[in-house]
Amino acid sequence: MKSPIISRRFFVKQSGLAFAAIGAGALFGPDFLRSSVLAAEPRRASGGRKVLVCVFQRGAADGLSMVAPFGDPDYYRLRSDIALPAPARKAGAEGVLDLGGGFGLHPSLAPLHELYGAGELAVVHACGNPLATRSHFEAQDLMELGTDRDKNLPSGWLNRLITACPEDAAHRTALNAVAMTSQLPRSLLGPEEALAIADIARFGVAGDVGLMGGGGRNSSATSFAAIYENAVGDALHGAGQDGFAAIDLLKKVAPNTYKPAFGAKYPNDSFGRSMRQVAQLIKADVGLEIAFVEIGGWDTHANQGAATGALANRLTEFGGGLAALHRDLDNKMSDVLILTMSEFGRTARQNGNRGTDHGHGTAFFALGGSVNGGKVLGSWPGLSPDKLFEGRDLEITTDYRDFFAEACVRHMGVDVGALGGVFPKFTANPSKFRGYLRN
């Protein structure tokens, strides 16, 4: 009997792979033990394989610093110590990078400014979940579930997106949906299969690490296959073979010999490494269509800084990773869309510790070859006292589900009528799309 959350096949696959991992603890190490290895069945949007890369900024990123509304006079009134200078010669390197319309990009995001000018980066400001929650955990769960308040949904919106995408059974692989994390994120949980893998070089794909060596599986891999074949029956044997199918595909990636193209330089941090691995999977043509990456460190309650400081350092890593992926993929970006998101923003007014507290609206980015970029989109609510949400935060004028839905329809090829299955109890309407993608 199949449950509404996890199918029997899903459970057996998880159990079988865990069994193999436990038996190979010394070989794989803790990263493998934490990974969820599931065989995925990719879907294709009409017109060719499209890739959606979702980047979650965990910890509530300050959209008012990422994309500063320097044209709003209340911005400087509210942030006397941490406001970024308007773009001007006297501001020098500490001034924001002009985006037009009174908005400026944080100087630490300079690598993205060039892409904005080239029309491949768009910003949707004052975006988020209309539900007023200031709990990181609750807000992240709700955003990954694709809802405003129903925490009991049995699956995440990206998992339901897999169901809603047009099917192309002839091109199914085991690497349709991959999270570059040690555990599967809530957005990918559900009946459709997905895979979580923090480090592909430690997942049995390097020449000297894991299952593969030389021309194929080593004796350890063969012994695992024998275990499935002879000891645990057809169901578990099938689960093991699905797991090996994923590993076989990953052999094509050759992570230890990969060299980024076109002078791309990924930051030497976890986010940079994750973005590099996304590029490897896309270039290897292993069937990737949905990738999930996360970057933490956005909870800036104290000493946030302005052009320099804690937030600026995190933005340097963030912008560097995004720009490196774009440069590395080059013309492949015509089929790749990167969306960034955060559970909520920060307070409009700085606090007594020169930081910001949990807020409401923030800025989301869309990056890719099909992006209608060079624009700050959405309806700006303003920062005057009568315009602030609950008297303290940037109001939300774009529901994050409309932001996601535009990607579902215009990039992944989901029929508008199927959006109700991706975002239950929400009416996503193309008239509410902000137009960050070209029709």
Look up the CATH number of the domain holding residue 73.
3.40.720
β-pair type (362-368, 121-128): antiparallel
136 within some domain = yes
Q: What is the pLDDT of residue 74?
A: 98
Q: How far apart are CA 407 and CA 52, in angstroms?
A: 8
* Nearest Cα residue to 95 out of 117, 70, 128: 70
HSE at residue 83, side-chain half, CA atoms within 13 A, is: 18
pLDDT value at residue 49: 84
How large is the angle between the packed helices 136-145 and 157-164, nearest 10 degrees? 0
Distance CA 398, CA 98 (A): 23
**How much is the pLDDT for 48?**
56
Alpha helices in 290-436 (DSSP H): 310-329, 400-410, 419-422
- Whether residue 26 lies inside any domain: the answer is no
DSSP annotation of 84 reads P
How far, CA to CA in Å, does 82 sit from each of 300, 309, 348, 379, 387? 12, 10, 11, 24, 21
Asked, for residue 127, whether it belongs to a domain, the answer is: yes
Which tokens in the block code for residue 435? Answer: 């137009």
The kind and range of the H/E element at 226 are: helix 219-230
Give the range of the structural domain holding residue 186, as residue numbers without chain letter: 35-202+257-432
In a domain, residue 160? The reply is yes
The per-residue pLDDT for 172 is: 57
CA distance 431 to 415: 15
Question: What's the chain's Rg over C-alpha atoms?
Answer: 22
Domains in the chain, number:
1
| Structure tokens given for 25 | 């603890």
Longest dimension (CA), the chain: 75
Strand (E) or helix (H) holding 3 = none
Identify the CA nearest to 198 among candidates 184, 218, 219: 184
> First and final CA of the chain: distance in angstroms?
42
Strand partners, 241: none
Predicted confidence at residue 256, as pLDDT, reads 81
Q: Would residue 243 count as lying in a domain?
A: no
Answer yes or no: are the C-beta atoms of 362 and 394 closer than 8 Å: yes
What is the spatial distance between Cα 77 and Cα 87, in angstroms, rounded to a whole number?
A: 18
The answer to the question of residue 324 being in a domain is yes
Q: What are residue 75's phi and psi, to 5 degrees?
A: -60, -45
Residue 13 included in any domain: no
- pLDDT at residue number 92: 86
Query: Across the chain, how many H-helices and E-strands are there?
Result: 14, 14
Long-range Cβ contact pairs of 279-284 (< 8 A, separation 24 or more): 279/325, 279/328, 279/329, 280/200, 280/253, 280/255, 281/175, 281/178, 281/200, 281/253, 282/51, 282/329, 282/332, 282/336, 283/329, 283/332, 284/252, 284/253, 284/254
pLDDT of residue 314: 98
Global pTM value:
0.84
Q: Which of 118, 157, 169, 105 shows the shortest CA–CA distance to 376?
A: 105
pLDDT tens by residue, the chain, 439 residues:
333 444 434 443 443 344 333 333 333 333 332 333 333 333 343 345 899 999 999 999 999 999 999 999 999 999 999 999 999 878 889 999 999 999 999 999 999 999 999 999 999 999 999 998 999 999 999 999 999 888 999 999 999 999 998 665 456 577 899 999 999 999 999 998 899 999 988 775 443 333 333 333 344 444 444 444 444 443 333 344 545 667 778 877 887 889 999 999 999 999 999 999 999 999 999 999 999 999 999 999 999 999 999 999 999 999 999 999 999 999 999 999 999 999 999 999 999 999 999 999 999 999 999 999 999 999 999 999 999 999 999 999 999 999 999 999 999 999 999 999 999 999 998 999 999 999 7
**Distance separating alpha carbons of residues 107 and 168, to the nearest angstrom:** 43
In a domain? residue 239: no
CA torsion 348-352-354-360 (nearest 10°) is: -30
